[in-house]
Amino acid sequence: MTFARIRHPEWEARTTGQMDYARDIKLKDLLVGKVLRCPYPAARIVQLDVEAARGAPGVVAVLVGTDLPDRNYLDYGQADRPSMARERVVWAGQEVAVLAAETEEQALAALALIRVTWERMPHVTSVAQALAVGAPAVHPDRAVDNVATQASRSFGDPASRGAATRQIGAAYGCGPQHHACMEPHSALAQWDAANGTLNLWTPTQSPRNIAAEIAQMLGLAPAQVRLRRSGVGGDFGSRVKAGDIEVLAAHLSMKTDRPVSIRLSRAEDFAYAKRQHETWVDVTSHYTDEGRILFREGRVTVDNGAFIQGGSNQMNYCSILLGSHYRLAGAQIEGRSVYTNLRPGGAFRGAGGPQAIFAIESQMDEIAAQLGVDPIVLRKRNLLPSGSETITGWKIATTAAAECLDEVGRRLDWDSARATGANPDVVRGVGVALAMHVSGAIVTPATGKAGAVIEIGQNGGVILASGCADPGTGEYAVIVQLCAKELGINPGDIELRAMDTATTPFDPGAGSSRGTMVTGGAILAASREIAEELRRQAAEMAGCAAQDVVLSGGSARAGAKEFTLGEVAAAHPFASGGTLRIERETAVSIPPVPMTHTDSGHGHLSPAYAFAAHGVEVEVDRATGAVRVLRVVAVHDAGTVINPVGAEGQVVGGVAMGLGMALGEQLLWQDGRPHVTGFADYAMPRADGVPPVEVVFVGAADPAGPMGAKSISEVALMPVAAAVANAVANATGVRLRDLPMTPDKVLAGLADRPRTHPAPIWRRPEHWWSAAVRQAYPSGLFAALDRYGPSRSTSKVPSIASVERPEQTETALALLARPGAAPLGGGTDLLPARSQGLAAPEHLVQLAGCNDLRGIEDHDGVLTFGAAVTLADAQAYLSRATLPGDRALAATLDAIATPQIRNMATLAGNLCQQNRCWFLRSGMNCFKRGGVGRPCYAVTGDHRYFHSVVDAGRCQSVTPSDLATMLTALDAEFVIRGPKGQHVLSAAAFHTGPGENALRPGEIVTALRIPAAARSDHAAFGKLSLSSDGFAIVSAAVRLRLDADGQVQTARIVLGGVAPTPWRAASSEERLLARVPLETDIAAAADAWTTRAHPLRDNEWKLAAGAGLLKRVLSQALDNSRTVNAAET
């Protein structure tokens, strides 16, 4: 059963930009709040001096930890988190001081005046370190062994393991994902001294949780904090409990008596807002020869970060779900949540469920493989039937798990799809995974109840008030639809009051998929009650029985008589002032299971349980390790679907987030310091990274849910990663158990993976020096440079004093001769680089206005682009190109960044962009930023994707420009003008180091020329990246000239992403010269360059991937030529 499709009640506001989110709200006298955070994972504050900041211009208040009441956040009950550090600091990012100033610039300037003397302390930045013998304790007073919480749960019959004949065990890891809500976290607080209330605007799906927590932290009564309605730009669990800035904004507002807003930037949101808890699940299944899983052993290890927040919940739900999924006879599950000196986590969509399902469902396929049974068949042998109870005490009233699996099988054409895989290089496979999930975990009495108020005025207007919030879950549409159906009116005729804690009834907020179940239940009960009252009253007015009254179309009909709802409401004896009002609080009918506080974890946790089977088809590139998902079939048993638009959206959104979890998203730290600080570093799916998703709903109404509905949003994320992993295994035989499945892991898993052989270092004296430095890094050099190395970088970036827009290159050159002047292309790199402290020009000279820099000319076969031509214009010009060189250039442009960037960025700007190293860009004071006294963080940090494998010196980063790589292969020339006149430089000579070029002060590139001969050579470009807009892990640009006999006369093979500059693979070129290239020559050439390599600890895989990619690009260049030639003849 499904309801009609309706438009979301806020659709107009949400699509026109009229919806006000917290950071859109402007209050009079608003102050800007900024937070000073600790840069070290563990330290003691020896001295904290804020006097200079207090006296700085525009500063109104400065607060430090000891200024605030000594209270901890309750969070989920563990109360281990203070509002600011007092003496000990336990993660790199913990709040140390906060201030409010008139403007953002003043606030930032004042922040820089705060002086802190730190004593750095030993720290642990992974669970393994935290659990090692003798590890330093994050909180010596709470957990000397760093184990914050633990559980040992025994379910069912412990002896049942004995009946099993086989067992299989493995560990499955889910890396820390980030919620990455598109609205970065922010808080706007306004203390209303006259009324003694605090108004708070902050995005959340749980308004009352936040209001209650803030009140508690401030020492106010709950009613004194009013959380106001606003748009909520995503939640996914990150904002169900208070973050760290709400309380700080509130304190500042109370202190200054003015409104204060603290808005995290995206970089801060990535680095300091909540995150998913990294979770490891060890599972051993004990099963029979017939494929019945009898007993499951498990051990769940959760990285809390420095405070527990949702970590214990994650561990608890994960461990209980491990005992619940499938029809087990017994289970023994241990769980730990562990303190580390990392940024604390928070609830994340599914709260441990996705991690349990990833482990179980991966292992189900491993069992199926061992037994030689089809994975769907194996799952169906172990399903929980409707009406059964799990060994964990969950009463499964309804389940359509079998139909979910069958439907996936049917739609994916399972049997034949699993058999495919003829192409040895790019293989396809399919995989399935089944998830189950609560529909609202009832863990405390408050989580099971919600209120609703409905008012009908005498003019017939209906007001519905609910304390819920809608961060995109479609909750508002669901409740309006439930109410409208009972009252027989249009959903659009209901005025919705929501979220505001002062004007709406109690609601527990969304979380553990309880929105529809609990809130929806309350709305339904109140709607039914008021409908009943209306019918009773109408019956009295019509002189008939209540059951003969029908509510529809905004009126009550009784036989021939008809009254408007307003008339009936006004006549009702309970009506006051013509308005009939019903307020109801309802509770779900099951007792709470306090899973976080009992060891057993046994009990009926939720009114109903949802199921979903997802099937995916993937394509795995065995040459590069890249995984592409081609299609997804998502079949859900969600009971009744109340709002199909919202329900489908939740599923597809969950699938996309699951694909991110499976394939690319991961937060990373370098010794406790975050260095993923932007979307460029975080491979979140884009529009071209999510394949078509078929969403299917099956199953019957569940007796417990409102109208029979069960949950959707979280369960939609849960099966995705395992389905992808199973499909990858089906395609390649590689079983990946550690998310995300980035290409390095795929390649490493291939049994017949390409081997690469860098020549031994003793044969290559040119690398001795860098090899020696690298060797010395782990043994003290890195630590010494990191701690004591002098730096020449200053954090000061002067503000822009002028922006010129000359119309002639002559004028531009004159303006650029001034000190502090720099050319401005599209600005897409320069402006971010300024804010990252990597560029500090005061005078910008925009070149786009110079008409002589914007032309494109094809003259005598030479193709000349003005330097200020945008990538999009160049692309458009080349869109109908026929010459292979031109087409390869067009393909290169299409692979760069995003359409908007291509609309803005200029060709020369792309060439001159700085390197994209995530250590540099996240603000670390590295060799590149701070000079020779500083270390390169990539040597010891995460360098798997974006660092050099060839020829790097002290800095391991690479030149990011794909365009430069292609232009080098095309033997392009750059015309350069400067104070000393004009000269021409070959593309190959342009780059001199990572993001460094040969331009001298005052010089600019004015044109790019591609020689005639190169344009008609065979050419191609290819790139491996983590997302469609991503920078190259490795790219390959190739140009070959064949003579009449098909022999290679000229070869240019240039690789990007492997060396400090676009790197010509001369040894590969030599393998092709003077030969008619056969398959074997191409393969040999693709490999040849790798012997020159000098990879870092973890990036040798780039050699194999680069060789694989190069082989493909070489063949493509030759093939293209054949097709073009064929077309010509």
Partner 1 sequence: MSVATLFTTSFRPEMAGLVLTVNGETRSIDAAPGAVLLDILRDDLELTGAKEACGRGECGACTVLVGGRSVLSCVTLAAVVNEPVETVEGLVSESLPLREAMADLGGFQCGYCTAGMVVRATELLRAGLPKDDDALAHAMAGNLCRCTGYRAILAAVRRVGQP
Q: Which residues bind ligand FES (CB under 6 A)?
A: 182, 234, 472
Q: Which of 758, 806, 931, 993 binds partner 1 (CB under 8 A)?
A: 806
Token pair belonging to 319: 């461990």
Measured in degrees and rounded to the nearest 5, phi and psi for residue 527 equal: -65, -45
Considering the complex, state which of residue 712 and residue 1055 has its C-beta at the smaller distance from partner 1. Answer: 712
Q: CA 555, CA 527: separation in Å to the nearest integer?
A: 15
d(CA 452, CA 182): 30
Which is closer to ligand FES, CB of 127 or CB of 180? 180
Q: Are 1054 and 965 in contact (CB under 8 A)?
A: yes
With CB under 8 A as the contact rule, which of the stretches 187-195, 796-804, 910-918, 1035-1043 interacts with partner 1?
A: 796-804
| 729-to-84, 243, 628, 711, 1026 alpha-carbon distances in Å | 47, 39, 13, 30, 20
With CB under 5 to 8 Å by kind, the binding choice for 656 among partner 1, ligand FES, none is partner 1
Interaction of residue 708 with partner 1, rule CB under 8 A: no
Residue placing its CB nearer to ligand FES in the complex, 235 or 486: 235
CB of 922 to ligand FES, least distance (A): 17
Which residues are paired to 168 by β-bridges?
Answer: 285
Q: Are strands 395-396 and 388-389 parallel, antiparallel or unpaired?
A: antiparallel
d(CA 92, CA 1068): 45
* Closer of 233 and 708 to ligand FES (Cβ): 233
Query: Among residues 657, 715, 883, 1026, which is the contact residue for partner 1, using CB under 8 A?
Result: 657
802 touching partner 1, by CB under 8 A: yes
* Closer residue to ligand FES (CB): 60 or 904: 904
DSSP state of 845: E
Residue 118 interacts with which of partner 1, ligand FES, none, CB < 5 to 8 Å by class: none
Site for partner 1 in 427-486 (CB under 8 A): 471-474
- Residue 678 near partner 1 by CB under 8 A: yes
Stretch that binds partner 1, among 18-26, 150-158, 243-251, 579-587 (CB under 8 A): 18-26
Bond before 740 cis per omega within 30 degrees:
yes
Taking the least distance from each CB to ligand FES, the nearer of 1029 and 1069 is 1029
Diameter of the chain measured on Cα atoms: 104
Rounded Cα distance between 524 and 746, Å, is 49
Q: Which is nearer to ligand FES, 234 or 311 (CB)?
A: 234
Q: Is 234 or 607 the residue whose CB approaches ligand FES more closely?
A: 234
**Least Å distance between CB 267 and partner 1?**
8
- Select from 41, 176, 440, 653 the one that contacts partner 1 (CB under 8 A): 653
Q: Taking each helix axis from N to C terminus, what angle separates 884-894 and 962-969, rounded to the nearest 10 degrees?
A: 170
Classify residue 510 by its DSSP letter: S
Q: How far is CA 50 from CA 36, 115, 481, 974, in A?
A: 11, 7, 54, 52
Taking CB under 8 A as the criterion, the residue among 41, 310, 345, 649 binding partner 1 is 649
* Closest residue by Cα to residue 394 from 446, 347, 440: 440
Q: Is residue 490 part of the contact set for partner 1 (CB under 8 A)? A: no
**What are the C-alpha distances in Å from 976 to residues 343, 443, 582, 1009, 1014?**
47, 69, 77, 11, 21
Pick the closer one to ligand FES by CB: 182 or 1127.
Answer: 182
- What DSSP designation does 641 have? B
Distance in Å, CB of 900 to ligand FES, minimum: 7
The correct pick among 687, 751, 1044, 1078 for binding partner 1 (CB under 8 A) is 687
Q: Which stretch binds partner 1 (CB under 8 A): 647-655, 698-706, 1002-1010, 1032-1040?
A: 647-655
Query: Residue 1011 interacts with partner 1 (CB under 8 A)?
Result: no
Distances (CA, A) of 229 to 199, 736, 1020: 10, 44, 54
* Choice between 231 and 672, CB closer to ligand FES: 231
- Minimum Å distance from CB 186 to partner 1? 11
The residue with its CB nearest to ligand FES is: 182
Q: Which two tokens stand for residue 736?
A: 């990946």
Where in 198-237 is the site for partner 1 (CB under 8 A)? 231-234, 236
**In whole angstroms, how close is the CB of 349 to ligand FES at the nearest point?**
13
Locus of tokens 């989920």: 76
Taking the C-alpha atoms of residue 948 and residue 940, their distance in angstroms, rounded to an integer, is 13
Q: Figure out which of the listed residues 361, 366, 648, 1003 binds partner 1, where binding follows CB under 8 A.
A: 648
Question: Which residues, in sequence order, are bridge partners of residue 118?
Answer: 45
**Could you say which residues in the range 168-187 bind partner 1, by CB under 8 A?**
179-184
Nearest CB to ligand FES, comparing residues 645 and 1084: 645
Considering only residues 328 to 357 of the shown chain, the ones binding partner 1 according to CB under 8 A are none
Q: Is 846 in the site for partner 1 (CB under 8 A)?
A: yes
**Strand segments (E) across 340-499:** 388-389, 395-396, 426-438, 449-456, 462-466, 494-498
User: What phi and psi values does residue 1064 have, to the nearest 5 degrees?
Assistant: -80, 120
User: Which one, 655 or 999, has the nearer CB to partner 1?
Assistant: 655
Binding residues for partner 1, rule CB under 8 A, total 91
Q: Which is nearer to partner 1, 15 or 117 (by Cβ)?
A: 15
Nearest CA to 785 out of 924, 669, 922 is that of 924
Residue 832 touches which of ligand FES, partner 1, none (Cβ within 5-8 Å per kind): partner 1
Please tell me whether residue 680 binds partner 1 under the rule CB under 8 A.
Answer: yes
2, 18, 195, 879: residue in contact with partner 1 (rule CB under 8 A): 18
Torsion of CA 986, 987, 992, 997, to 10 degrees: 100
Q: Which residues contact 101 (CB under 8 A, 6 or more apart)?
A: 31, 32, 34, 56, 58, 59, 60, 107, 110
Buried b (16+ CB within 10 A) or exposed e, 518-536: bbbbbbbbbbbbbbebbbe
The Cα 442–Cα 439 span in angstroms is 9
Q: How far is the CB of 829 from partner 1 (least distance, A)?
A: 8
Q: Does residue 22 touch partner 1 according to CB under 8 A?
A: no
Does residue 880 interact with partner 1 by CB under 8 A? no
Residue 350 near residue 358, CB atoms below 8 Å: no
Tokens of 490: 């249009």
3-state helix, strand, coil in the chain (%, to 5): 35, 25, 40
Q: Which does 1044 bind (CB under 5 to 8 A by kind): partner 1, ligand FES, none?
A: none
Residue 173 touches which of partner 1, ligand FES, none (Cβ within 5-8 Å per kind):
none
Residue of the chain from 168, 645, 839, 1084 that contacts partner 1 (CB under 8 A): 645
Q: CB-wise, 263 or 1094, nearer to partner 1?
A: 263
The CB-of-239 to ligand FES minimum distance in angstroms stands at 13
Sign of the four-CA dihedral 810, 815, 817, 822 = negative
19 part of the interface to partner 1, by CB under 8 A: yes
Tokens encoding 240: 């169900």
Contact between 550 and partner 1 (CB under 8 A)? no
Report the nearest approach of ligand FES to the CB of residue 32 (Å): 19
- Minimal distance, residue 834 CB to partner 1, in Å: 8
Nearer to ligand FES, 234 or 646 (CB): 234
Among positions 881-940, residues that touch partner 1 (CB under 8 A) are 894, 897-901, 903-904
Closest distance between partner 1 and the C-beta of residue 646, in Å?
7
